[in-house]
Chain A
Amino acid sequence: MRNGSLRKKTKWEWSGYIFILPWLCGFFLLTLFPMLRSLYYSFTNYNLMDSPHWAGLDNYIKIFTNDSTFRQSLTITLRFVAFAVPVKLVSALLVAMLLKKNVRGISVYRTLLYLPTLIGSSVASAILWRHIWGASGLINQFLNLFGVAGKSWISTPGTALMTLIVQGIWQFGSSMVIFLSALKQVPEDLYEASEIDGASKIRQFFAITLPMISPIIQFNLILQMIGAFQMFTQALIITKGGPVHMTFVYSLYLYETAFTRFNLGYASALAWILLMLITLITVAIFAISRRVVFYETEVEA
């Protein structure tokens, strides 16, 4: 928009800073400053009682070479992210595709499918889940109908994480709503034109639908991925991190290190590793999407 003839000279309005002042204060005091503090703490030993004392790279060295809990919680979290996020997004997209064609009663379907998301990651939904997958819960009652003897899914090491993944997928409603509106914005004439050219439905999906909504897929993917990495309430209430640490996700480990053992330096190092990991994955997603994602118009920043 730098059009010289129209706008000869940009007239800055410093008063803008009055408007963003609250956020600016918040950014410096509650985001940037704490981030730098946590970077500093990650190189110290600190337990809230004594002042932090410098430990160099000790925390990081210990985490990477001599901390089996770290390795386990990271593996579990990665497994959770790798299963829950793609399945959630793919099912959200598929259902949105079905609902796109102005199906009658769409608002009823949409509301019903949104219901689990509405209950959200609350303590209440975690309590519900804990009962459903328990020894005498809904799942086993259902299996009993077919004569299959159930087990306590939550306290079996092999299936505990699966119950959490299923809950994550169960809440695919918000992604679906976003996909649905994205699909509705794809110009109809593109489909009509390709139909005349004799393109099949599948070809249309890959040649038109997918490229047109790719920015939204990217947006959803990144936000869901970050959210999944931070999963906390579910693991705390449904499985309590157990059995035998099989659902001891990263944020639970971080929480316990920081606030039950008060190893604040060590916890800060864990937090920075998580940040680096999330940044790395985000950058990778952006790098891949630079080739794949299709932007219709450049967006004004």
Chain B
Amino acid sequence: MNPEVLSLARRAFLTRITSGFAGVALTQLLADDFLAGQLAAAEPAWTPGKPQFAPKAKQVLQIFCPGAASHIDLWDYKPELEKRDGQPLPGEENLVSFQGKNGPLMKSPWPFMQAGQSGKHISSMLPYMAEHVDDIAFIHSMTSRTNTHGPGCVFMNTCFTREGFPTAGAWVSYALGSLNQNLPTFIAMQDVRGEPPNGKANWGNGFLPAQFQGVSMAAQQPLRNLARPEGISAEEDEATRAFLHQMNSEHAEQHPGESELRARVAAYEMAARMQLTAPGVADLKSETAHTHAAYGTGDRNPLKAAYARNCLLARRFLEQGVRYVSLYCASRASGVDGLLNWDAHRTLKADYERHLPIFDQPTAALLGDLKQRGMLNDVLVIWTTEFGRMPTKQAVTLGRDHNPDGFTCWMAGAGVKGGTSYGATDEFGRRSVEKVSSAYDFYATVLHLLGLNHEKLTYYNNGANRRLTDVHGQVLREILA
């Protein structure tokens, strides 16, 4: 069948999708008469709710460090930068970047150390993460289309610099549907310090139907409107729902053939199940003291303890079958200092001596926990940030300016070849020069691991069959296990 006609058919179908969640799939409930029948006739390349080919991964855990976490101070070892500390950047002596002029090269304030069987060089400020390098595939040749945080975060989540496009988590929810019946499909966990740059555009559904949006939930922030209102007893609540159900059932009886009405009834039932389940999942008390200690939930540093609680909660969400979890470590740009996120313009050393300890132990504990429980067989872990930082010192500061021309992201877990490093920046970390890649390739790979062809996962909007990867992207095959 002509793919365009097919896409038109799919579009027609999708505008009628009334099953829903903003998380929870009703597809199962309605599959027989509503979904399957719709698409069977069109012989689609894929059916919503199912991968297109055998997947390596079923779930995604995204860890996002907003503020542009510096590749050359965390993951990308540059001995030449160390050697030429204080010298001008060859060929770009008068470099003007986001905030203005740049000074000479500045080495990382901390030495790098080798770790794991792979002997990967990693910052000595990441002693816990060092234990996991053999599980990680580093992509050192990332590039971005913008040098600005908001558009950069949005680009790293949607492959577009403008808000209004669906995020990767929304695309995956749309493509694969839910794995559970009582929690959202896509959960976005914000840092205790607040939302990342451009806020909700980082987990929005864009033009996809609203049920595919990421739902905000974190240890410090319960699901909105979940709790039974104060002053209403459980019995009254229950009785009201029962009465409502009766009214709606009678209404539906008078309107045979209207599947939307059945979907409404199902949505209310699912909301009730969420109410029952979500608080239990969010309650960390059932975890052992050992687990708490491993994550650092009781750390003296309240920011680290808060992030650690979210790491632990992320694991519990994944255990419950949440399809896509986005976990943020830090928040927006304050424009003044590096307290809120990784945006170290002025005093990189002091700023990162705040951020790295917050990030290191809890993240490593989460990876270790997933591995030990065998969950890395199903869970793809991706680490992202909006862009990198300059190898030079920003003029009259001890910090680094934004660098969209080269940075690092990584993947680990299901289907990923651990202990690998893909692509490279130049000797200083200024630009990607080897196997230059981007968010397009990154997400082409993520989708591939989920059993989806990034060129075939489309949704019609305003004149185009839109894709997560726009019109770009190649699967990074070298990092596949």
Say whether A and B bind each other: no
